[in-house]
Amino acid sequence: MLRYTFTDTPIGSILIAGDSESIVEIHFAGAKPKPDWIRDDDAFPEATDQLRAYFAGELQTFVLPLSPRGTEFQMSVWGALQQIPYGETTTYSTIANRIGRPAAIRAVGAANGANPIPIVIPCHRVIGSNGSMTGFGGGIDVKRKLLALEARVAGQTLF
């Protein structure tokens, strides 16, 4: 059974859910917990602190226990996402090559879209091969805001 809490951020209230040992899911504003989850506003203080520090531009690398649930392929994609440097972007094709599955670009896109722990596992750093913004669970506007925050903090120009 998972516990959950909410934390306020500049992009809206974020739902954090996990077990007693790790973060299992993060959801964007408007998300509702599953019926069998238990609200615990004292849960995940470190995740809340790190998310606040991230949005304040004070944290570039999350150090949290994570337990995303997915297939072996999804886990390989999510692992590759965690290797994308802060303030940088990459493409689905690059991720497909990185995991040794160069023909699996669409599957990489689907796995990226199924990422259960966005922001911490930075799926927002993946863009189209032509530099275009692509789908994002929090919406394209939120994706732009996250990329702009990281670019500003890293002292880079966004695109």
Say what the pLDDT of residue 159 is: 52
Interacting residues of 49 by C-beta distance below 8 A, sequence separation 6+: none
The number of distinct structural domains making up the chain is 2
Say what the pLDDT of residue 78 is: 98
Look up the CATH number of the domain holding residue 41. Answer: 3.30.160
For residue 64, being part of any structural domain is answered with no
Q: Determine the Cα–Cα distance for residues 78 and 59; give it in Å rounded to an integer.
A: 20
Look up the CATH number of the domain holding residue 113. Answer: 1.10.10.10
Say what the pLDDT of residue 67 is: 97
Say what the pLDDT of residue 29 is: 87
Residue 13 parent element (H or E): strand 12-18
Residues 78 and 50 in one domain: no
Q: Determine the Cα–Cα distance for residues 74 and 148; give it in Å rounded to an integer.
A: 26
Give me the residue label for tokens 């972007």. Answer: 89
Residue length, the chain?
A: 159
Say what the pLDDT of residue 154 is: 85
- Starting from the edge strand earliest in sequence, which strands make up the sheet with 23-27, in order? 23-27, 12-18, 3-9, 38-39
Strand, coil or helix: what is 154?
helix
Q: Determine the Cα–Cα distance for residues 50 and 63; give it in Å rounded to an integer.
A: 8
Say what the pLDDT of residue 103 is: 97
Residues 101 and 150 in one domain: yes
Residues 87 and 143 in one domain: yes
Q: Which are the catalytic amino acids?
A: 123
Residues 48 and 77 in one domain: no
Say what the pLDDT of residue 40 is: 97
For residue 89, being part of any structural domain is answered with yes
Say what the pLDDT of residue 121 is: 98
Residues 79 and 150 in one domain: yes
> 104 pairs with which residues across the strands?
none
Nearest CA to 140 out of 24, 50, 28, 13 is that of: 28
pLDDT (tens, 9 = 90+) of the chain, 159 residues, equals: 899 999 999 999 999 999 989 999 999 988 999 999 999 999 999 999 999 999 999 999 999 999 999 999 999 999 999 999 999 999 999 999 999 999 999 999 999 999 999 999 999 999 988 888 888 888 999 999 999 999 999 887 655
Domain assignment of residue 81, given as a range: 72-154
For residue 145, being part of any structural domain is answered with yes
List b or e across 101-128, with b for residues whose CB sees 16 or more CB atoms inside 10 angstroms: eeebbebbbebbeebbbbbbbbbbbbbe
Residues 34 and 96 in one domain: no
